[in-house]
């Protein structure tokens, strides 16, 4: 890390960078907490295929203080167990999430076991940077995970270089974009990470080059503006699944935008409406939206305070979210399915039971013709992720993946969640992001 000897000057500069305005957070009021019940029940009652998928959920429920002591213990053990398994090795972002979750507060034993994990994360973060140097700026994973890495290292006293962070997180870097479209989720996570780094510098009067600090501030401002530019008519920031983390980013950066640039209440009310429509049935989706609705952010992770526990008998709503499938429809539906690789197209028509998801269509097509429609999928925190089709594998070093579309439009859900409709034109397309 570079050293500066101009401490008095630095102090002045840093003082001028401290947020002057009180942060405006529009959390759901206590009387309306029942609106959050579907989220909490989705998370508490979910079955996890891989322990690490519980990290997001544990983090979210700990921030809200919704777990009983025994539920907390169970989830923590699950996450810790996953961090110890060597096969498959965790990605840097998975480990960072585990650190945030396990270290979010001190458990009943009064300790948070993150020391070893943080050392391990320092190495994984370096491996991401090395990969970028060797592969045209492409990390092993993505910038969302690099942001999680920096956030966890920053909150848990891990080692990272401030000049390196200032360099990596420059706005305009291709890793903030997929298909040239700004990724609000990624930008939001980067704002949280950069805000933590800046607060650390300020708190410690860290001997950092003032140019690096200034860069971090400017990067944050620019990312906040990009997030705000993705505001939609109905109040969402990006789409429904990026809105929670974008809200967190805007909560922690109130000095970078004017009050009239964001109607926080409108965003919150839209999200509440979507909860009742069943948009957050996936535990990860629920976990990512809950903190913001409680007025919390990942910067509220406090490794020094004891966990707050709720009661075991948390009143989980038994009311099911409104169903999205039409009430009257034939029991079998017909859909068109294509695999598109550059100019080569393989088409078929598949018959599946009404209410089927995209994955059912892919499985049916594969059953009917294994050569043209073979595929592989890996379980992830958002459900099954398509990793290869016809033996062609997605690769982060080349920024390639299998894109999902319906009627020519990219889907905002995965193959395990998207419910197909009669005569849908489904497509998996070999793409570069
Ligand atoms: C990076 C990213 C990608 C990269 C992944 C490759 C890479 N370079 O890492 C790319 C650009 C290829 C991608 C693709 C897709 N993505 Co994406 N992606 C993300 C992002 C920004 C971060 C994921 C991450 O690293 N998480 C942190 C780590 C620790 O968790 P993880 O579970 O181990 O992460 C892995 C999985 O999340 C997986 N993954 C990434 N996207 C998706 C989407 C789905 C549906 C699944 C099952 C898995 C998956 O890749 C990650 C790295 O291995 C998230 C944002 C978010 N809020 O989570 C969106 C997000 C998860 N993606 C989303 C979507 C919709 C997709 C696509 C379906 C888009 C499409 N129309 O094709 C495809 C997946 C298609 C497929 N093959 O199955 C949505 C999912 C919403 C939902 N309800 O299901 C999110 C939330 C973005 C959003 N706000 O809409 N994605």
Residue 92 contacts residue 141 (beta carbons within 8 Å): yes
- Domains, the chain, in order of start with CATH, read 17-300 (1.50.10.20), 332-432 (2.170.130.30)
Check if 297 has its Cβ closer than 6 Å to any atom of ligand 1. Answer: no
Cα of 139 vs centre of ligand 1, distance in Å, is 15
Percent of the chain with pLDDT over 70: 88
- For residue range 35-91, what is the model confidence (pLDDT) as tens digits? 999 999 999 998 776 789 999 999 999 999 999 999 999 999 999 999 998 777 999
Check if 285 has its Cβ closer than 6 Å to any atom of ligand 1. Answer: yes
User: Which string of DSSP letters, residue by residue, matches 225-276?
Assistant: HHHHHTB-TTS-BSSTTTHHHHHHHHHT-GGGS-GGG--HHHHHHHHHHHHH
Q: Whose CA is nearest to atom 59 of ligand 1?
A: 185
Cα of 307 vs centre of ligand 1, distance in Å, is 30
pLDDT in the model for residue 321? 44
Check if 388 has its Cβ closer than 6 Å to any atom of ligand 1. Answer: no
How large is the average pLDDT for residues 23-44? 89
pLDDT in the model for residue 206? 61
Q: Using CA atoms, how far apart are residues 106 and 109, in angstroms rounded to an integer?
A: 7
pLDDT in the model for residue 116? 93
- For residue range 335-360, what is the model confidence (pLDDT) as tens digits? 999 999 999 999 999 999 999 999 99
Atom of ligand 1 nearest to the CA of 241: 89
SS3 content of the chain, % helix, strand, coil (to 5): 50, 15, 35
Check if 433 has its Cβ closer than 6 Å to any atom of ligand 1. Answer: yes
- For residue range 4-20, what is the model confidence (pLDDT) as tens digits? 444 444 444 444 444 43
Judged by average pLDDT, the poorest of 176-185, 215-224, 314-323 is 314-323
- For residue range 384-414, what is the model confidence (pLDDT) as tens digits? 999 999 999 999 999 999 999 999 999 999 9
At 393, list the tokens.
Answer: 């594998």
pLDDT class of 303 with cuts at 50, 70, 90: confident
Does the pLDDT of residue 3 top 70, yes or no?
no
pLDDT in the model for residue 107? 81
How large is the average pLDDT for residues 309-318? 57
- For residue range 161-176, what is the model confidence (pLDDT) as tens digits? 999 999 999 999 999 9
Q: Using CA atoms, how far apart are residues 368 and 366, in angstroms rounded to an integer?
A: 5
Cα of 74 vs centre of ligand 1, distance in Å, is 27
Burial (CB < 10 A; 0-12, 13-18, 19+), residue 402, is: buried
Residue 83 contacts residue 101 (beta carbons within 8 Å): no
pLDDT in the model for residue 204? 78
pLDDT in the model for residue 398? 97
Residue 149 contacts residue 98 (beta carbons within 8 Å): no
pLDDT in the model for residue 312? 59
Atom of ligand 1 nearest to the CA of 186: 21
- Name the more confident of 152 and 317: 152
């Amino acid at each position: 890390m570079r050293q500066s000897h101009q401490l008095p000057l630095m102090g002045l500069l840093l003082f001028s960078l401290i947020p002057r305005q009180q942060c405006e957070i529009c959390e759901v009021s206590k009387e309306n907490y029942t609106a959050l019940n579907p989220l909490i029940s989705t998370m508490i009652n979910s079955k996890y295929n891989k322990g690490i998928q519980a990290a997001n959920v544990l983090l979210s429920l700990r921030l809200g203080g919704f777990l009983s002591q025994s539920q907390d213990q169970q989830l923590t053990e699950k996450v810790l167990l996953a961090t110890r398994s060597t096969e498959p090795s965790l990605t840097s972002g998975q480990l960072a999430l585990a650190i945030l979750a396990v270290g979010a507060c001190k458990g009943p034993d009064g300790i948070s076991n993150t020391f070893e994990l943080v050392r391990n994360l320092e190495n994984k973060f370096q491996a991401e940077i090395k990969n970028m140097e060797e592969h045209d700026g492409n990390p092993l994973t993505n910038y969302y995970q690099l942001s999680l890495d920096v956030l966890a290292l920053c909150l848990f006293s891990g080692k990272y270089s401030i000049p390196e962070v200032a360099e990596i997180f420059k706005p305009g870097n291709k890793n903030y974009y997929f298909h040239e479209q700004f990724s609000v989720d990624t930008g939001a996570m980067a704002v949280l990470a950069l805000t933590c780094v800046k607060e650390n510098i300020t708190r410690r009067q860290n001997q950092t080059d003032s140019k690096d600090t200034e860069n971090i501030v400017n990067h944050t401002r620019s990312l906040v503006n990009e997030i705000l530019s993705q505001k939609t008519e109905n109040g969402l920031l990006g789409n429904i699944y990026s809105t929670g983390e974008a809200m967190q980013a805007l909560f922690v950066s109130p000095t970078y935008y004017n009050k009239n640039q964001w109607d926080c209440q409108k965003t919150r009310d839209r999200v509440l409406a979507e909860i009742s429509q069943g948009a957050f049935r996936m535990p990860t989706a629920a976990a990512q939206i809950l903190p913001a609705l409680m007025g919390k952010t990942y910067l509220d992770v406090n490794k020094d305070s004891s966990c707050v526990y709720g009661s075991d008998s948390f009143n989980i709503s038994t009311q099911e979210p409104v169903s999205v499938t039409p009430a009257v429809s034939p029991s079998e539906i017909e859909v068109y399915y294509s695999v598109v690789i550059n100019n080569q197209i393989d088409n078929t028509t598949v018959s599946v039971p009404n209410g089927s998801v995209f994955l059912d269509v892919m499985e049916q097509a594969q059953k009917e013709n294994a050569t043209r429609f073979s595929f592989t999928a890996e379980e992830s925190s958002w459900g099954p992720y398509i990793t290869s089709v016809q033996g062609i594998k997605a690769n982060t070093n080349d920024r390639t993946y299998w894109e999902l579309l319906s009627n020519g439009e990219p889907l905002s859900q995965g193959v395990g969640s998207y419910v197909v409709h009669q005569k849908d034109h489904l497509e998996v397309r070999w793409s570069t992001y």
